Structure 1
Amino acid sequence: MAKVNFKRPLFEFISIVVAVVLAMALTEWRQNQLNRKLAEKSLQNIIAEIQDNRDDLAIDSAKIAADLRFMKAWITDFEEKSEKNDFSLNFDYSFLNRAALDVAINNQSMTYIDFEINMALAEIYNTQEFYSQKALDVFDAMGELTTSTHHPESAEFLAKVKGFNFQLGLVMGSIRAYMVETEQFLSTYNSEN
């Protein structure tokens, strides 16, 4: 009876197992590197998007502040029965972009971005959504003003102006909140990239 040598097949088996495990580890490491690079690029795009949105809102906020000052003076003049200017407003609404965030969500790179950054981004985009909703409410209030059958010197018209003023104030508040949140975010995370 011949003696069977198990050392060589055992060595070959162990070599194959080690090679397969090393190949899998290398593939996983490479995929993690690609995912991190994708996450970094996604974060850079989100930061640029936030900055663009801030720039748009800075322009809008100056116009909205002027509208709010005008309405405050108009309401005061109305209530004091002083001579009023004709009522006119120029509300501007910027459509804030969220495409970079949507792409990052779709390509699943958000899972490779730090949890604290994800939380900060959630707050920023929630404030952005609130701004968008309140801006639509302003358009509704503006529509009520323009289609009002009440004379501009009636109490009903004054009530509509006050409602519009309230809605516009909410928009201005959401802009201020967005500016504060994004300023903190950009000062913390923009320098890291």
Structure 2
Amino acid sequence: MASKVDFRRASFEFLSIVVAVVLAMALTEWRQDALNNRLAEKSLENIIAEIKDNREDLLLDSAKITKDLIFMRGWISAFEEKGEKGEFSLNFDYSFLNRAALDVAINNQSMTFIDFDINMELAEIYNTQEFYSTKALDVFDAMSDLTTSTHHTESPEFLANVKGFQFQLGLVMGSINAYLKETQDFLKEHDLESK
């Protein structure tokens, strides 16, 4: 004799299994989203701390560079007027800016879970940081030109090297000012510690 299939019971069991699987998948996705958001928040906190550290370094550098630019302006004027130049000396200081927090956030893919506008602002900040690093290295090249001609400080070649150095240092100072402005605006809007 054939057994009778209870379709209502089978349908109920089937629906129960489907609902359980869907709930389990939804809970897993919710849990993963929560973990991703926490990772993104922590990554953003680390990036903000890194930006603050880089700002402190550049604030110190900018004070020294400002003194160097003022000194060179006066020295060039004195040289061109054939007046008393005095000894030529500079205090240029180059800070290696950190980007480890950004690299970690990129590697662990948490940048994907950070707001798009914040990502764009961070990209601009780190591009300015890269420009600063590139221009600072150019300053070292200009410094080497100065050191090779320092024994001829009365020559027009030395004056040209000083002007080249002044130009490169001006670019570095401009990039520092841009970085300080960008990061000040960013930190004012997104600093998690102050909220």
TM range (shorter): over 0.9
Q: Shift of the alpha carbon at 1:147?
A: 1.4
Matches of 1:3 and 1:17, distance apart in 2: 24
Partner of 2:8: 7
**1:171-190 paired onto structure 2 within 5 Å:** 171-190=172-191
CA RMSD, aligned part only? 1.3
Partner of 2:128: 127
Partner of 2:52: 51
Partner of 1:65: 66
SS at match of 2:152: coil
Q: Shift of the alpha carbon at 1:3?
A: 3.3
**1:25-104 paired onto structure 2 within 5 Å:** 25-104=26-105
Matches of 1:46 and 1:113, distance apart in 2: 12
Q: Shift of the alpha carbon at 1:9?
A: 1.6
Q: Shift of the alpha carbon at 1:150?
A: 6.3
Contiguous gaps of at least 5 residues in structure 2? none
Matches of 1:5 and 1:90, distance apart in 2: 90
Give CA deviations for 1:99-145 in whole Å, capped at 9, x if unaligned. 00001111111011101100100000000000000000000000111
Contiguous gaps of at least 5 residues in structure 1? none
Matches of 1:2 and 1:142, distance apart in 2: 96
Matches of 2:178 and 2:56, distance apart in 1: 14
Q: Shift of the alpha carbon at 1:85?
A: 1.1
Partner of 1:142: 143
Q: Shift of the alpha carbon at 1:149?
A: 6.9
Matches of 2:179 and 2:31, distance apart in 1: 38
Partner of 1:164: 165
Identity %: 75
| Paired AA for residue 27 in structure 2 | L
| Paired AA for residue 185 in structure 1 | F
Give CA deviations for 1:158-190 in whole Å, capped at 9, x if unaligned. 001000000000000000000000000000000
1:151 and 2:145 correspond: no
- List structure 1 segments (4+ residues) > 3 angstroms apart after TM superposition: none
Q: Shift of the alpha carbon at 1:4?
A: 2.3
Give the TM-score normalised by structure 1.
0.97
Q: 1:75·1:158 contact (CA, 8 Å) conserved in 2?
A: yes
Matches of 2:98 and 2:150, distance apart in 1: 37
Give the TM-score normalised by structure 2.
0.96
